[in-house]
Amino acid sequence: MTFDYDLFVIGAGPGGIAAAKQVASYGIRVAIAEQDLVGGTCVIRGCIPEKLMSFAADFSEDAQVAQGYGWKNHHMKMFDWQQFLAAKEQEIQRLSKVHTQSLQKAGVELIKGRTTFSNPHTLEVEGREMTADKILIAVGAKTVKPDIPGIEYAITAGELFNLKQQPKHIAVIGGDYIAVKLAGIMKNLGSQVTQVIQEDQILSAFDEDIRIAVTDGLRKRGLEILDKTVIKEIKRVGDELDLILSGKIHNTLSVDTVLYATERVPNITSLALEKVGVQVTQGAIVTDEYSRTTIANIFAVGDCTNQLSFTPVAIAQGRAFADTVFGNNPHTVSYEYVPSTVSSHPEAATVGLSKAQAHEKLGDSVQCYRSEFRPLLHSLPKLDEKTLIKLVVDNSSDRVLGIHMVGEGAIEIIQCLALAIRLGATKKDFDSTIGIHPSIAEEFFTLR
């Protein structure tokens, strides 16, 4: 049978773009379909705008630090929400254009529109039917809101970046890394923030010391956290939104903005996967280690699958798929030692096992080394700001199992140390490494 394309990719996000370009480099006929801006959630309404907003939030603390160093007239004026949004939007459009041009340069045909399956080899995009030998699904995930009265008044994370006015008092619902990130950012930008979580602590998937340190840092900045609390209803009262709370807190919370960052689900409902028999479990596409679905010629990568939901993971999956299926170089993606971050204030980052995970796996052979200190930058202004660093070690092998940090530079430092832990670094390796002085990173090599 002759097909229109050798590969058809559904979704021009990080995973889909990486796969399409790699496959096209092998001289294969490739098309990619996207109904939104090219770049996916990460570029449009995810990690890129979040990080840009985090950069903006960083400046709010500069005045306090600068005064301790003699800058008496150094002060920040009120944050200009509209100016930031305009600059942010300009950068997103630029990045989307860059991705579009990179696809064109690679020889990938870009098709605009929503895609649905007709059969395992046939797709329909805005009324146009086309066929492909192999199909890659890379449609990502979307944020969903709970079904409670008044939920139409709430927004999701993506909508936050396009609000016409900065919230005066925002309720951030959720306790995972996205919710914590956005809550910390909004507080530093000058909004009053109340975070509402069902659990007893934020960041339940992180090491306990990380959770405690980030919580303390947020509360020092004036952020209110209501734990063991759920929202039963949202009521519009004039310009305010009244949240009817239940659980540990039984009262009404009045805010002007409600942001839900509680759950993201694979964005697959419009694909008509039931027509072709692709297995979906708990809302996610089931794949094997080579990104193959239950239908031999259909593959899936990224947040629409049952694997880790991180942009670099989707890119790695896309490239591995391309090499395996079209490049005569079969290989898989390792999900061990994938670093994760919280670009909040304070920021945190981690790679490997938490203390609890290590104990569950290895028992009493686990030993932790930790230090909490005021970084040199904050010594002159005498700010009550602490940095936390921690190593989780297997005493029987001396191998470092987990590395955790809260404080300035955590993301960049942990990214570099992720290579060391992946290569099997031991505590002895850390002890024998000479650090750069004075620096925060050197403290990892002085833990005893």
Do the domain assignments include residue 60?
yes
Per-residue pLDDT, 338: 96
Please check whether residues 284 and 296 belong to one and the same domain: yes
Single out the residue of 431, 395, 387, 393 nearest to residue 413, CA to CA: 387
| Residue 340 maps to a domain | no
120 with 162, same domain? no
For residues 104 and 163, state if they share a domain: no
In a domain, 74, yes or no: yes
The reply to whether 335 falls in a domain is no
Residue 360 and residue 305 share a domain: no
How many domains, the chain?
3
Q: Verify that 279 and 306 share a domain, yes or no.
A: yes
In this structure, the answer to whether residues 18 and 132 fall within a common structural domain is yes
pLDDT grade, residue 78 (50/70/90)?
Answer: confident
Domain end residue (candidates: 209, 233, 262): 262
Residue whose entry in the numeric block shows the structure tokens 């794949």: 287
Report if residue 154 sits inside a domain.
yes
- Residues serving a catalytic function are 437
Give one word for 284, left, alpha or beta, with left for phi > 0 and alpha for psi -120 to 50. beta
**Contact in structure between 264 and 179 (CB atoms under 8 Å):** no
What letters, b where the CB count within 10 A reaches 16 and e where it falls short, cover 363-384? Answer: eeebebbeeeeebebbeeeebe
Q: The CATH number of the domain where 155 resides is what?
A: 3.50.50.60
Residues 134 and 281 in one domain: yes
Distance CA 442, CA 437 (A): 7
Same domain? For 22 and 116 the reply is yes
Q: What is the pLDDT of residues 169-213, one digit of tens each?
A: 999 999 999 999 999 999 999 999 999 999 999 999 999 999 999
Q: What is the Rg, in whole angstroms, of the alpha carbon atoms belonging to the chain?
A: 24
d(CA 48, CA 158): 11
Question: Is 339 contained in some domain?
Answer: no
Query: Does residue 392 sit within a domain?
Result: yes
- Looking at the structure, tell me whether residues 228 and 200 fall in a common domain: yes
Q: Are residues 46 and 98 in the same domain?
A: yes
Whole-number Cα distances in Å, 150 to 220, 259, 282, 357, 438: 32, 13, 26, 39, 53
Q: Domain for residue 299, yes or no?
A: yes
* Predicted local confidence at residue 74, as pLDDT: 62
**pLDDT the model gives residue 75:** 64
Give per-residue pLDDT as tens, 361-417. Answer: 999 999 999 999 999 999 999 988 999 999 999 999 999 999 999 999 999 999 999
Select from 262, 291, 312 the last residue of a domain: 262
Residue span of the structural domain in which 424 resides? 347-445
CATH number at residue 376: 3.30.390.30
* Section 244-248 average pLDDT: 94
Q: Are residues 319 and 246 in the same domain?
A: no
**Mean pLDDT for the stretch of residues 16-30:** 98
CA-wise closest residue to 441 among 395, 377, 372, 389: 389
Give yes or no for residue 445 having a pLDDT over 70. Answer: yes
Q: What is the mean pLDDT of residues 310-339?
A: 96
Examine the domain organization and report whether 130 and 245 are in the same domain. no
> What is the average pLDDT value for the chain, to the nearest integer?
95
| Residue ending a domain, choose from 262, 278, 308 | 262
